């Protein structure tokens, strides 16, 4: 069996389950934010700050950012493998785009937790 270091999962089935699980997390987070915005008549900085000062919102946001990283990593690998046939270009694109996804997670963690 050939191991592929570009994927997070150990197999296609594992990748499939990870994609579906992360999609559910991202859907739940999107639904939460949309409902909050729809139910808040006047959105001010103080209201937004008080929402994100709660530990469970920070944790949910960080979990969603991590889910986004996993979802993007696997999705980029699948799309680039299918559509970019030049191996060198594909590896370069994977590196750059995955580096961007990791930087989004790191930036989000710093913003949320002030680490």
For residue 14, say whether it is annotated as part of any ligand binding site. Answer: no
E strand segments, 1-115 = none
Q: Which of 20, 6, 115 is nearest to 62 (CA)?
A: 115
Within 13 Å and on the Cβ side, how many CA atoms surround 35? Answer: 6
Is the separation of the CB atoms in 115 and 109 below 8 Å? Answer: yes
> Could you tell me which residues are annotated as the binding site?
71, 83
Residues flagged as binding site for a ubiquinone: 83
Instruction: List residues forming the annotated binding site for heme.
Output: 71
């Amino acid at each position: 069996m050939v191991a592929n270091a570009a994927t997070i999962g150990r197999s296609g089935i594992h990748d499939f389950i990870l994609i579906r699980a992360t999609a559910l997390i991202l859907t739940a987070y999107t639904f939460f934010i949309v409902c909050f915005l729809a139910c808040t008549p006047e959105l001010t900085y103080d209201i937004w700050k008080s929402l994100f000062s709660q530990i469970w919102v920070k944790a949910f946001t960080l979990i969603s950012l991590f889910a986004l990283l996993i979802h993007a990593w696997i999705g980029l690998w699948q799309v680039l493998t299918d559509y970019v046939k030049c191996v060198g270009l594909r590896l370069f694109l994977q590196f750059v785009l995955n580096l961007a996804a990791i930087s989004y997670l790191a930036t989000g963690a710093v913003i949320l937790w002030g680490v």
